[in-house]
Every structure is written in structure tokens, then in C-alpha cells.
Structure 1
Amino acid sequence: MRISALIALSLTLAAAPAFAKTPCGGSFSSFVADLKQEAQARGHDRATVERFFASVRQDAEVLRADRAQGFFQKPFTEFARSLISSNRMQHGQANARKWDSLFTHIEESYGVSRGILLAFWAFETDYGGFQGNTNTRDALVTLAHDCRRPHLFRPQVFDALTLFSRGDLDPERTTGAWAGEVGMVQMLPSDIIENGVDGDGDGHVSLKTSPPDALMSGAKMLRSLGWRAGEPWLQEVQIPASMDWSQSGIDTTMRAARWQQMGVRPRSGSLLAPNLPASLILPQGHKGPAFLAYPNFNVLFEWNQSFTYVLTAAYFATRLEGAPVFDPGNPDPGLGRAQMKQLQRKLAARGHDVGGVDGILGAGTRAAVQAEQARLGLPADAWPTPALLNRL
């Protein structure tokens, strides 16, 4: 299933501020000439620079994709069921067997679990099956020229040039996501330079064609972002009806053993890490699925900022390592996009920072919902419902 339109770029980019000091806009040819001049000032020889920028063009499709990246965020249960197909599960298990020795080496070298890497490999490109067909150089130069976030993309252009000079990127043929990400686990040029690994020993970092290169690079990147070796990331739990729901949410942590003392129980087995800090995650309120999220869970937000996407990837990783299918519970109905916008306007009018009226249940909206639920005497589980909207 082609899902790259949903996840091609972390939502961090969408929310980033503009930096007026970064050159952008104006004539595209003049902008490219300025890039060439800066590239030479950075130490690249003129012939390499000319070859890299030869035939570069502004890609209108990239700009359209960038402006259309907002999407209706499905509830976790629906989103997870749509992404975790039986085919994706079977291919994940087959790849775990096929690359068993590689995953073992990665776990020993970087401490990153195979389930996590398999999950991102699956969701980003269907295990390499669809990596995007947008010219990477053109995408990066187009986005650097556009004045929405030039400070993010201009450095990526020069890093792509560095990869070209190393023989690891072909400006005419290398393709990927519309936002310039490349390879089986979709990494930007700067991430490749910082964390790229020649896993197969051929002298190049080939994230598009070499699973060892792609998976080892992804593991190194996660470790650089703070992944802690040998620690869990997510565990499904059952919760008592008497819980103080206001203590749920990613921003509240306590030792997992303390959650257990409060009546939180693993749905299967025992607590994975009683002494680690953990947060109680209720993606669809207190009547829906429930999870304890350990510190490694937060690292995944450095890969993608969408809460539902990260939770789904983290859960899928546990499934690939043997966890049972989650219990969906019987959550209260959520809100459609129009209702969510109406709710956000009401929350903003009460002084809450919801991060914009976009119809998406982001971190700011969840926090505001939880605060209003507590004020109104409703279960403060951060799940917006028609009942809350009516009360407001």
C-alpha cells in the first residue's frame, strides 16, 4: 500500500518558523547561481558543482505536495489497522528471518531492536518496495528556493552535493520522497552524512539498494537520537476503572512499578522494566487501548512528530517481536475534522495554545482537552468527544 503521502516528512518541518536571513525566492536561475557560488566557497571544486547542478529544475509537484501535507488524522485503532496489514506482518517476519544475522549484529553494535527497524522499514517504504520517484536534487533545491523553510533545506542541498562528490548520490537519477528523503528508511542527506554506514562493505552508503546499509544507518541514527540499548519502548496494559485519568499522557512519568501499584497491569506477561520511568498512553481515552511508554518511545518522535504514527510504529514493532494484537476496547466516538476545528476554536478562545486550528489532534490540542475535561469534571483522558464539545 502506498502511504508515503502521509509520512514523507516529519510534522516538525510543517511547524518550523521562517528564517528571513536565509536566501530564498526570486529568479530560480539566479538562486541556483547563488547556490553554486556558496558551494565553491564551501570547498567544492567548480567542475563538481557544475555537474551537480546541471539540468536542475524547479519541481512544481514538490511545492504542491508540501502545501497539501496536512491530512485527517485517523484514530489510533483505525490508523493501526490500515497500516498493519497481514501482508506487511508476513513480510516483516520473513525479513526478520532473512536478515537475522544482520539484525543480531545491529543489536550488538547499536542496541536498537529489530522490531523497531522492521516497523520503520515497513511504514516508510514497504520494505524498500516504494521509495518515492521524485528527483532528490530537484526536490531539495525547490524547497530551498521556496521561502517557507529555506533554513531547513538549503543545508540539505550542500550535503547532497557532498554525497555526490563521494559517489553516493546521482543528481540525475537518485529519487526518493518529495521532501528529499532517500532510501529504504527515508533519510535526508545530512542524516546520511552523519549516520550513514557502509553495512555491506562495498565502499559506498547505498540506502536505496542495500538493506545492510539502510538498516545499519537507521540504527546508528536512532542511537544518535538517544536510543537506549536493551530497554523496551512500549507495553500494552490494562487499567482500573478508578484511575486518575489526569495522570495519563506523554508528559507525566513515574516508575512502571508505581503504575502497577496504582492498578495498571500488563495485558500479557509481566512488567518489562519496573524501575524505568513510564507514561500511561491512552490514544482514544480511558475506554480504548492503553499502553505504558518507556523512554525509548520518546526517541521515536525525533524520527516523526505524529503521535498516532509513532504509536502505531512502536506497537507494530512489539507485534513483530511477539506481542499479541492490542485490545481496542470500546472508546467513545471521536470528532470529525470539522468538529475538531470547532473544538480547537473554542479551546483557543479559552486561552489554550492548540498550535493552530487544523483539525488534527496534536499535542497542544490533547493538553488543552485534558485541562478542560478536568475543569468540567469529565474523565481527563485527553480524548476529545462530542460530549466535551457540547459542554464547551
Structure 2
Amino acid sequence: MSVARRLALALTLPALLATTTLTQAASLELSAGNDTKPVACGGELPAFLAGVKQEAVAKGIPASAVDTALAGAQIDQKVLSRDRAQGVFRQTFLEFSQRTVSQGRLDIGRQKMSQMKDIFGRAESEYGVPAGVITAFWAMETDFGAVQGDFNTRNALVTLAHDCRRPQLFRPQLISLIEMVQHGDLDPATNTGAWAGEIGQVQMLPKDIIAHGVDGDNSGHIDVKKSSADAVLTAAAFIKSLGYRKGEPWIQEVQVPENLAWEKTGLGNEIPASEWFKLGVTPRDGDTKFGNLPAALIMPQGRKGPVFLTYPNFNIYLEWNQSFIYTTSAAYFATRLSGAPTYAKGNPDPALDDAAMKDLQTKLQARGHDVGKIDGILGSGTRNAIQKEQQRLGLAADGWPTQQLVQGL
């Protein structure tokens, strides 16, 4: 969860793997944002590691801790292959959410919430984050710690910091990992996690663990890999830092009328929830007490499938993972753990196959819409373009691609 996660696929998302080789040329890359300080990358590994050591020592980390952290560091070609892989996420919301929000996971999640009642109570009282929100991420990221990744974390971050594609993102993570070694919270030789450097039961990067880590079991160390208490409370602290608003909803399933102004729907089109209610949008749970909050109406599979209002706390999910389908599924999962019923599946129009989606994207691009890469993936740019063309053609502008739209174009 961080900048790296936004650019790298989450472990739960399928990917096509491609091989690559590491450039041996020493080079510099400018860091992101307004920081124009060059970030060293590439070149011979010993020289690169010497530069990392110099930077870490300058930040106050003892040279002995740096030596311990970097001893035996290697470039991992498998990490580079994952980094170069093109992400592919073609499942619909119904397909993905039904697979991830399974009855087995719900049962285990509720059991965990009961077994760790005191820890989850602390998470909510100290950080304002409900048990269901944390537990849903815990389940989706690692199946409650069962699948945390098998890449050596130190080598993964050395590889990505040394590589000249995004060193400005990963070099600070490597420095933070060294700091974790200094604190005795991580063994660099044996610690494993995701290929992009995420660690532990809720998959967090070292910099976020350093900033928000909580010793939930009073062991004297922050161990988000082995300690569920540490992982849960650290996740709560991190979620709070993203702006989570205590006591407010994040997503709410609703029913919609046939004649809704569909062009008003979609992420980014927030109006007070009370205005949606006046337009005939009805919460399935009947709860309208948050009508003063801004809300967007989203339809992952169009107006004939499940429909939700998203509230400001939904932005936390977008910070965690920018995949719309993953995000909506995680938010829905959290509502189920918090007592909501199964969504109404509806009867959405069939999804277009890969070839038809690429053909649609090509048509949309030809009409001047920015759909990004012609990849057959229904991303935000493609959804926005679809909605505009649906409105132009007099179709229900719900952002869901249909054969009727393809024929109209």
C-alpha cells in the first residue's frame, strides 16, 4: 500500500510474466514530483550498495546495521520480470467479488474478529477504523497471513532501487528496510514478501511500516509478518493516515429507478447522498442518515448489475489499490463483515470479450476519447468514454460496454 502498490500489481491480481535483463549502464533518474535531486541507479552492484550505505549513514543509521542489512544482497531477475509484466485484469465485478468474498473467507474473517476482539477494539478506539475494513484487506491481500509472498524482501528492493525504471520510488523503501533491520524488526537474509517489497499479513512497504508500525503484542518489535496483532494495528494506523473518517460509511448498496439520470453517475460525480435519494435511489438497508455526505453512484457492471453509493471513506480503498474491481470488491467485503447482506446480482448485460473490447476502444479513440492503451481492459478512461458515447447515442449512460453500443458506433 503506497506509491509502489499503485504502480505495481497487487498479489491478488493475475499477470502475464515477461522476461527482461538488467541494464548494466550506470545512470541517473530524476525523482518524482517537485524534487529534482537525481537518484543514483544502475552500474556495478557493489558501487551501488556503497552509495546506499552512504545515504543510510547520513540519515543516522549505524554503519553496522547497514552492513548487516546489505550483506549478501543480490539482483533478483524474477523481480524484474514481474516488474516488466503487463497487468491483466479482465474479470468482471461479479466474477472477482464472488471468488474473493467467499463464504469460507467470511467465516474465517468473523472468527478472527471474534478471537481478536480486544485488538480490533483498539483499532477502532485509537484509530477509528472498524474491524470489517481491516479484516477485508487482511483476507484479500494474504488470506489472513497464509500467502505473504516468497521473494526475499531485501533483494527485491535492492533490485528495484538499482534498476533505473523507478529508483525514486524504491530507494527510500530500501533505506527504510535498513532501518527496520537496525530496530531488530526484520532479518534481511530470511524475510520474504511480495515482489515489489511489500511485507506481512496486510502487505505494507517498509516506509509505511516505519511511519505507522504498532507493536500490538508488546513484544518490543513490530513484526507485521508473524504477529497478527501488529499487522492489524499497523494497518489501522496506516488507514487512518490516509484520511479515514471515523463513524462514516464507505460504500452502500442501493436500488435505482429505471429513469435515473445515468450521466450523473460514476466516480468523481459526487452530490449529497440526500440528492440521490430524492432521485429515487434507495438504500437496500433503508439507512439514509448519512444523506449529508457527498456520494457517487457506481455500477461496476452497469445499471442492471449491483449498484452502490460510495462515500468519502471509499477514497481510502482507492489509495490502497487503484483497480476499480479490486477496490469495490474490498469495500463490499468490508460491508459483509460488518453485517450487510449479499448484494443483489441483478441481470447485467454480458461482458464483451477481449477482441470486442479492443475494437470498442479503437472506435472510441477514433472519436477523440482518451482511453489509454488499447488493451481490452475496462479502465476509468474507457468507462468515461463509453458513458459519453452512450449519452450521445441516446442510450442509458451507465458506462458499461454492450453490443448495442458497439453497433451504435
Q: How high is the TM-score relative to the length of structure 1?
A: 0.93
How far is the alpha carbon of 1:91 from its aligned partner? 0.3
Find 1:157's aligned residue among 163, 174, 178.
Answer: 174
* Residue matched to 1:179: 196
Post-superposition Cα deviations, 1:220-276, rounded to whole Å, max 9, x if no partner, equal: 111110100000111111000010111110111111111111000112332251211
Q: Does the 8 A contact of 2:216 with 2:229 survive in 1?
A: yes
* Residue matched to 2:43: 26
The reply on whether 1:198 has 2:215 as its aligned counterpart is: yes
Q: Distance in 1 between matches of 2:216 and 2:381?
A: 40
Residues 102, 340 of structure 1: CA spacing in aligned structure 2 closer, same or farther, 3 A cutoff?
same
**Structure 1 unaligned spans of 5+:** 1-7
* Residue matched to 1:70: 87
The reply on whether 1:90 has 2:104 as its aligned counterpart is: no
How far is the alpha carbon of 1:39 from its aligned partner? 2.4
SS in 1 for 2:207: helix
SS in 1 for 2:295: strand
Q: Distance in 1 between matches of 2:121 and 2:204?
A: 22
Q: Does the 8 A contact of 1:249 with 1:282 survive in 2?
A: yes
* Residue matched to 2:283: 266
* Residue matched to 1:310: 327
Q: Distance in 2 between matches of 1:324 and 1:131?
A: 29
158-167 or 195-204, larger mean C-alpha shift: 195-204
Q: Distance in 2 between matches of 1:27 and 1:351?
A: 46
Find 1:328's aligned residue among 345, 356, 368.
Answer: 345
352-361 or 308-317, larger mean C-alpha shift: 352-361
35-44 or 255-264, larger mean C-alpha shift: 35-44
Aligned partner letter, 2:172: P
Q: Distance in 1 between matches of 2:175 and 2:381?
A: 34
* Residue matched to 1:5: none
Q: Distance in 2 between matches of 1:335 and 1:160?
A: 44
Q: Distance in 2 between matches of 1:148 and 1:354?
A: 24
* Residue matched to 2:371: 354
* Residue matched to 1:103: 120
How far is the alpha carbon of 1:391 from its aligned partner? 2.5
Q: Does the 8 A contact of 1:9 with 1:304 survive in 2?
A: no
**Structure 2 unaligned spans of 5+:** 10-28, 32-37
The reply on whether 1:345 has 2:362 as its aligned counterpart is: yes
305-314 or 200-209, larger mean C-alpha shift: 200-209
Aligned partner letter, 2:234: S
Q: Does the 8 A contact of 1:132 with 1:175 survive in 2?
A: yes
Structure 1 segment 1-392 matched on structure 2, within 5 A: 10-13=5-8, 19=30, 21-392=38-409
SS in 2 for 1:23: strand
How far is the alpha carbon of 1:60 from its aligned partner? 1.0
Residues 272, 87 of structure 1: CA spacing in aligned structure 2 closer, same or farther, 3 A cutoff?
farther
Aligned partner letter, 1:152: L
Q: Does the 8 A contact of 1:284 with 1:383 survive in 2?
A: yes
Aligned partner letter, 2:301: Q
Post-superposition Cα deviations, 1:159-198, rounded to whole Å, max 9, x if no partner, equal: 1011110111111011111110001111001100111111
Q: Distance in 2 between matches of 1:152 and 1:341?
A: 32
TM-align CA RMSD: 1.8
Runs of 4+ in 1 over 4 A off after TM superposition: none
Residues 45, 105 of structure 1: CA spacing in aligned structure 2 closer, same or farther, 3 A cutoff?
closer
Post-superposition Cα deviations, 1:105-159, rounded to whole Å, max 9, x if no partner, equal: 2111111111110100000010111111111010011111122211110110001
How far is the alpha carbon of 1:336 from its aligned partner? 2.2
Aligned partner letter, 1:197: V
How far is the alpha carbon of 1:347 from its aligned partner? 2.1
Q: Distance in 1 between matches of 2:164 and 2:352?
A: 34
Say how many residue pairs are matched: 383
Q: Distance in 1 between matches of 2:340 and 2:383?
A: 27
Q: Distance in 2 between matches of 1:218 and 1:48?
A: 26
Q: Distance in 2 between matches of 1:224 and 1:161?
A: 23
Aligned partner letter, 1:326: Y
How far is the alpha carbon of 1:310 from its aligned partner? 0.7
Post-superposition Cα deviations, 1:5-52, rounded to whole Å, max 9, x if no partner, equal: xxx9634447xxx74732222333332232223223333333222221
41-50 or 148-157, larger mean C-alpha shift: 41-50
SS in 2 for 1:22: strand
Residues 41, 105 of structure 1: CA spacing in aligned structure 2 closer, same or farther, 3 A cutoff?
closer
SS in 1 for 2:40: coil
How far is the alpha carbon of 1:359 from its aligned partner? 2.3
Identity %: 52
Q: How high is the TM-score relative to the length of structure 2?
A: 0.90
Q: Distance in 2 between matches of 1:150 and 1:344?
A: 32
